Amino acid sequence: MNKTIRRASVLTLLLVLALLVRATWVQFYDGRALADDKDNRRNAIETYAEPLGNIIVAGKSITGSAQTKGSDLKYKRTYTDGPLYAAVTGYASQAYAPTQLEGVYQDLLNGTDNRLKTVMDTVTNERAEPGNVVTTVDPDVQKAAYDTLGDKKGAAVAIDPSTGRILAVVSTPSYDPSSLTAANTAGTAWGKLTKDSDKPLTNRALRQPLPPGSTFKLVVAATALEDGLYSSVDEKTDSPNPYKLPQSNSVLANENPSAPCENATIRVALEYSCNNVFAKMAVDLGEDKIRATADKFGFDDATQDVPVRAYESVYPKDMDQAQTALSGIGQFDVTATPLQMAMVSAAIANDGKLVSPHMVSQITDSGGSVLENYDDDADTKEIVSSSTAEQLQSAMQTVVEEGTGTNARISGATVGGKTGTAQHGENNSQTPYAWFTSYGKADGKEVAVAVVVEQSNAARSEVSGNGLAAPVAKAVMEAALKN
């Protein structure tokens, strides 16, 4: 063989080897990336070639699948009482990425979760029968929250303190997930929803932290009792009224000028929501001690999954004394979600112990076999001592029985709560946020609830935690304690 032919042969062999390497690379690396690409329509065709698994509430499916017409996507997602459960389910759309439980359990619900595969599925590489998501939501509690919030812009969360099971997650205004499921109509609905100034796609219960106002005073009170600054909720505090903010010429006023807030006990200060008491208490404790307690309750946790990722509630850092004082009444840069404030009440109601909140009880395969049980996996942490919790329970009961939270009273039940009216806008120029966090106990049952009302038809002078949020909490607690 002459030199020219030999060189050509070697070059041809190298080209063939390069082609084989490239083909292998495309098949096993680029191929996977292309297959997983969100714009690869084959993924959508495969996902919607068969009915999806379902999300279950109280033994009944609140989702389904329906055959489509004139589309290569054979099935679309359907919802029963879609607006009622939108904050729980989210949506599974042929056009947009899934959200909430639909997104968290996407692989389980479309049958691609490896835990669903049988031996035969593995051999044939066929998609398994989809699994189901069993929630902890109580339909009566969910409906009570949704109906009572009505046309108000706000949110509510209810938790069973002893188990951590989330009984209700409601965000209003809501939307119908069914409007986003079909590819040929989703775009129009999406445009309307995203342009709506009320932001119905936002899950206010889990993913919109707001200033918690006076509901945060429970965290400050817990810190003072745990630290030993005050030995009980009935010990007089050192609280001048009016209270001049440190390093400032500003004087902090109380909502009720005639309230007995000077040197008031923690019980009386919670009953009348005395700003001077908790602002001074926050300064005396210092931001580090309050943050340590707040963090135990769940603040400053950016990884809070229920299993939907909740937005972080924040207790700020590096404050001066005036800012620390304002943080003591849930203002300055303090923010919290309704979930977070429900967790505060849940821990207090459960003798100082917080069971990790979760809204999925278990996930199963198509035959009902349990793949994972989240009720069994719930962690329990001691947030405050049982003595501190017992004292705060008693003080919260005084708030409802005699103080600012009387609209939450329930005949035949023990109810404790705390109101909050948080400033909104520069110099409080916009309608304040109305808060209420509470717990209820009756006949061996218990529930913790947090409600925020961002906007309503009420006049500004009528906006208060007791006037707007407490009636919602009452309805939710009644439904939970009845079941």
Residues recognised as catalytic: 214
Give dist(CA 367, CA 129) in Å, integer.
9
Q: What distance lies between CA 298 and its chain's CA centroid? A: 12
Give dist(CA 262, CA 252) in Å, integer.
13
186 to 181, 192, 345: CA distances (angstroms): 6, 10, 39
Give dist(CA 307, CA 80) in Å, integer.
22
Give dist(CA 225, CA 389) in Å, integer.
9
**SS3 call for 450:** strand
Partners of 363 in the beta sheet?
133, 372
What's the sign of the alpha-carbon dihedral 302, 336, 350, 101?
Answer: negative
Q: Which amino acid is at 229?
A: L
Give dist(CA 208, CA 337) in Å, integer.
6
Residue 48 CB-half CA count within 13 A: 25
Give dist(CA 239, CA 261) in Å, integer.
8
Tokens representing residue 365 in the block? 């395969």
Give dist(CA 145, CA 451) in Å, integer.
9
